[in-house]
Structure 1
Amino acid sequence: MMTFFKLFRKGMKWGTIISTLLFIAITLIQIYGRFFMTKAPSWTEEAARVAFIYAIAFAAGLAVRGTYYVDFGFLVEKFSTRTQNMIKFFIWAVTTVFVLIFTYHAIDFLLMGTIEKSPSLKYRMAISFSGIAIMGLSILVHLIYEKPKSNKPSKI
């Protein structure tokens, strides 16, 4: 299980890096086209949008692992250790159920995109829509792996 998670996390990191670099490169091409060409390439806006979607999709699970999302730790810390553990578990359980539902519907959304084509690049919209499913799966895997551990008071 640990090897799968390490490989999964490495894939998410590289996916984030590559899609972010693509987003930057495509945006620079678009800027260059607008300033120095008679007509900017029409494909750049759509391609940049797809690269941005994938950058967010790959990074979403990594943000769960790094606890970069909004946290109300200052409020939870006011309770006893037992209550803190119960609150953290409740938040984790509700978030996991929400992401499960989100991912299920994201896969339905992806399947709808198999019949549609993008307006400019003419690829199947399932390619763009798959970013949402990737985001759901990424968050779900990290939530399951990062299940809250109990805060046992230290014996000092």
Structure 2
Amino acid sequence: MSTREQGAVDERRVVDDLDALSKVPKLPGRVGWLIGWSDRLFTALATLALLGIAATVMLQIAGRLFLPFSPAWTEELSRYLFIYMVALSSGAVIHRHRHVSVELFQHWLGPRGRALYQVLVCLVVGAFALIVLPYAWAYAENGAWQTSPTLKVPMLYIFFSTVVLFALVLVYSVIGVVEGLVALVRGPIDPEEEAPSWK
């Protein structure tokens, strides 16, 4: 193996070690297909919200530069689109392990250790979402008699983003717990995989 190929292999190993929890296998079969389809749906909706933000901001810039007036509603709409982008992408981010996290020891764990760690993290996150979800619903209901300043949209729809956020976090945390438990029960396919990666 050439030095260049060895460098590529080492680089791939470092990236895999940084993303240790992605090695926990996802659920197979129709359930796995349904979860994957749900990931793609919410990612597509979040992407549409991001494109909406870009279009709204470009309209605001164009209005300030080329029009005699700047539309007042663009800043408000971009803010609401940003809120929904975060809420809609929260579940897929948890499922793909792309949220901000501090990884100090996960790459030292074998497959069962990573699965157990995923179960514990998802239990804590899911418990937090379960506790906060009723309060998010109460917060959303407060917007029923309010409207946004420029768009005149009922704030119920804007405040409902917190319900979407914590509901998706709860659902995807349950999925993470189930995937981790299945990986714990099934164990590694290859006996050599049980050895921690630092050996």
TM-score class, shorter: 0.7 to 0.9
Work out which of the two has the higher radius of gyration on C-alpha atoms and give 1 or 2.
Answer: 2
- Asked if residue 65 in structure 1 is aligned to residue 95 in structure 2, the reply is yes
* One-letter code aligned to 2:175: Y
Cα 1:8–1:83 shift into 2, 3 Å: closer
**Aligned residue in 2 for 1:111:** 141
- Once the two structures are TM-superposed, the CA of residue 38 in structure 1 deviates from its matched residue by 2.2
Q: C-alpha distance in 1, partners of 2:76/2:161?
A: 14
| CA drift at 1:141 | 1.8
TM superposition shift of 1:34: 1.1
Query: What TM-score do the two structures reach when normalised by structure 2?
Result: 0.68
Letter paired with 1:120: T
The structure with more helix, counted as a fraction of residues: 2
Letter in 1 for 2:155: M
Match of 1:131 among 151, 154, 161: 161
Ranges in structure 2 where 5+ consecutive residues have no aligned partner = 1-29, 193-199
The equivalences for 1:79-118 within 5 A come to: 86-118=116-148
CA distance in structure 2 between the aligned counterparts of 1:88 and 1:81, rounded to whole angstroms: 11
Quote the residue 1:52 is aligned against.
Answer: 82
The Cα shift of 1:132 comes to 1.6
Contact 2:122 2:176 in 1 (8 A): no
Identity of matched residues, %: 22
The 1:79/1:8 distance shift into structure 2, 3 A limit, reads closer
Match of 1:20 among 50, 53, 57: 50
- Return the alpha-carbon distance in structure 2 between the equivalents of residues 155 and 86 of structure 1: 18
Matched, 1:38 2:74: no
Q: Which moved more, 1:69-78 or 1:118-127?
A: 69-78
Alignment CA distance shift 1:4-1:130 (3 Å): farther
